[in-house]
Amino acid sequence: MAKLQSRYVCQSCGAVTAKWLGRCESCGEWNSIIEETPRESVPGGLGQSKGLSGGRRSAGQRLEFVELQGTSEQAPRLPTGIAEFDRVCGGGLVNGSAVLIGGDPGIGKSTLLTQAVAALGSGAGGPPVKCAYISGEEAVDQVRLRARRLGLGGTNILLAAATSVRDIAASLDSQDAPRIVVVDSIQTMYVDSLDSAPGTVTQVRASAQELIRLAKRRGFALLLVGHVTKEGVIAGPKVLEHMVDTVLTFEGERGHPFRILRAVKNRFGPTDEIGVFEMTEDGLSEVANPSALFLAERRGNVSGSAVFAGLEGSRPVLVEIQALVSPSPQATPRRAVIGWDTGRLAMVLAVLEARCGLALAGNEVYLNVAGGLRIGEPAADLAVAAALVSAATDQAVTDETVVFGEIGLSGEVRAVSQADTRLKEAAKLGFTRALIPPRRARTKKRESDHGLEIREIEHLQDLVAM
């Protein structure tokens, strides 16, 4: 056999090069390339391209076609009964699908999945479902201890500690395979026909591929836990994201109890829904009304604060946006943002400066979305501007006011989607005033105001002049 040559694989995108490079030419990532010995071709082994059936086939096999309108005996989706989790998945876990759950170490992924499995096993969302939880990070006793401590039970839950994909596959490849399989985490799994260490992109990809293939064949829903690297991407992210049906991220600020589950990709449901949880001593508890939670620590009329009436998926979410503006001795003053887009802040600052004559260039600017939520909507522009103007002028936006609207480069305020849903939520939470974009004439009906005093802002100047 010819000597196997080393190859160099980018741990971020999976690109292969013949020599080591400081920066991946394919994805531009620095220091992501490591040497990996290529997999040996063990006949009948768990090769990456051969699959569990192994061996080389000479002729193709006939496909087993099914009819589009054929009936399937199993329910297509398994709701866990944890509403916040099911919403993000699009109503429950789909049979034969692969879900990747990414997040920082310690954020609560294992806790979330233990609770989900326990809910499924005890039949919280429907008939009890047989589940398996395979941990590559903790011993069985540790997993059991945590479940006990959280008061979780269920007779249908099988626990195992394993890291070999071959062992896992051998145990699950049977008629009575569990309907739900959790693999915690994919970075600890390895395929023994490969020489690369567990956690390398080659191993992560091969392990995921084998497990996903098995999930499709046996029809169980596979939940893969994936750790996020310091750059905020799931290790071997791009390769894994293509392979799975659904990518969920579990995020939250350190020191904050709130955790947000978000669908980044979903073949079987919407991608803009969020699930909100609170990490407590007894595990994760669902937060059915996130607005109340995000606004809980708000102090009354203070400058530099504005409440944004946002929308996460189908659900309105009110959050406080805090800004601090202070003179800076430095030539390039600091700008720091938590929970929003830095580029978007620069744009709002530029518009305030150029179109409204508000001089902020010599100031340090800090922006924070309270509660650890990340906002992606441009609809937050006007609320950010309100917080900034309030901080710069030291005038409070009254605490009964909610704000939303997108800002254009000339300073005009633009309409945003679902204004009515946002206003309704604000009214429900006791707000009395709203600063919003101009509405089209036919929607200017009193009943759509929900009892709020509506102030339409046409241009950012109107806000500054208030």
Q: Of 6-14, 48-56, 275-283, 354-362, which segment contacts ligand TYD by CB under 6 A?
A: 275-283
State the burial class of residue 213 (Cβ atoms within 10 Å of its Cβ: 0-12, 13-18, 19+): middle
- Taking CB under 6 A as the criterion, the residue among 14, 47, 283, 372 binding ligand TYD is 283
Neighbouring residues of 158: CB distance < 8 A, sequence distance ≥ 6: 130, 131, 132, 133, 178
Cα 288 from Cα 170, distance rounded (Å): 41
| Cβ proximity to ligand TYD, 212 vs 228, nearer residue | 228
The single-letter DSSP state of residue 33 is: E
Residue 105, annotated ligand binder? yes
Neighbouring residues of 293: CB distance < 8 A, sequence distance ≥ 6: 258, 276, 278, 287, 371
Three-class SS of residue 160?
Answer: strand
Measured N-to-C along each axis, helices 381-393 and 342-356 cross at an angle, to the nearest 10 degrees, of 60
Cα 392 from Cα 387, distance rounded (Å): 9
Q: Which helix (H) or strand (E) holds 145?
A: helix 140-149
- Taking CB under 6 A as the criterion, the residue among 80, 95, 110, 203 binding ligand TYD is 110
| Cβ proximity to Mg ion, 110 vs 390, nearer residue | 110
Site string for Mg ion, 110-129 (x = CB under 5 A): x-------------------
> Per CB under 6 A, does 302 bind ligand TYD?
no
Q: Give the count of residues interacting with ligand TYD (CB under 6 A).
A: 14
| Cβ proximity to ligand TYD, 47 vs 237, nearer residue | 237
- Taking CB under 6 A as the criterion, the residue among 34, 279, 324, 454 binding ligand TYD is 279
CB of 338 to ligand TYD, least distance (A): 21
- Taking CB under 6 A as the criterion, the residue among 14, 47, 108, 304 binding ligand TYD is 108
> Per CB under 6 A, does 103 bind ligand TYD?
yes
Query: Which partner in ligand TYD, Mg ion, none is near 90 (CB below 5 to 8 A by kind)?
Result: none
Three-class SS of residue 337?
Answer: strand
| Cβ proximity to ligand TYD, 145 vs 197, nearer residue | 145
Residue 420, annotated ligand binder? no
Q: Which helix (H) or strand (E) holds 102?
A: strand 98-103
- Taking CB under 6 A as the criterion, the residue among 80, 97, 111, 266 binding ligand TYD is 111
Residue 394, annotated ligand binder? no
At 285, give phi and psi (nearest 5°).
-115, 145
> Per CB under 6 A, does 282 bind ligand TYD?
yes
Residue 104, annotated ligand binder? yes
Cα 412 from Cα 167, distance rounded (Å): 61
| Cβ proximity to ligand TYD, 261 vs 318, nearer residue | 261
Q: Which helix (H) or strand (E) holds 135?
A: strand 131-135
Query: How, if at all, do strands 406-407 and 413-414 pair?
Result: antiparallel
- Cβ atoms of 422 and 382 closer than 8 Å: no
Query: Which partner in ligand TYD, Mg ion, none is near 233 (CB below 5 to 8 A by kind)?
Result: none
Residue 79, annotated ligand binder? no
| Cβ proximity to ligand TYD, 120 vs 426, nearer residue | 120
CB of 131 to Mg ion, least distance (A): 17
Q: Of 109-117, 259-267, 356-364, 451-459, which segment contacts ligand TYD by CB under 6 A?
A: 109-117
Cα 186 from Cα 181, distance rounded (Å): 12
Cα 378 from Cα 359, distance rounded (Å): 23
CB of 132 to ligand TYD, least distance (A): 17
Q: Locate tokens 């989900």: which residue? A: 116
Residue 109, annotated ligand binder? yes
Distances (CA, A) of 111 to 97, 152, 277, 284, 459: 21, 11, 11, 7, 47
Residue 232, annotated ligand binder? no
| Cβ proximity to ligand TYD, 145 vs 409, nearer residue | 145
> Per CB under 6 A, does 136 bind ligand TYD?
no
Q: In what order do the strands lie in the sheet with 453-456?
A: 335-338, 363-369, 315-327, 305-312, 401-403, 433-436, 453-456
> Per CB under 6 A, does 146 bind ligand TYD?
yes
> Per CB under 6 A, does 73 bind ligand TYD?
no
> Per CB under 6 A, does 237 bind ligand TYD?
no
CB of 16 to Mg ion, least distance (A): 30
Note the residue count of the chain: 466
CB of 104 to Mg ion, least distance (A): 11
Strand-pairing partners, residue 45, are none
The single-letter DSSP state of residue 465 is: T
Residue set of the binding site for ATP: 103-110
Binding site for Mg ion (CB under 5 A): 110
Binding site, annotated residues: 103-110
Site residues for ligand TYD per CB under 6 A: 103, 105-111, 146, 150, 279, 281-283
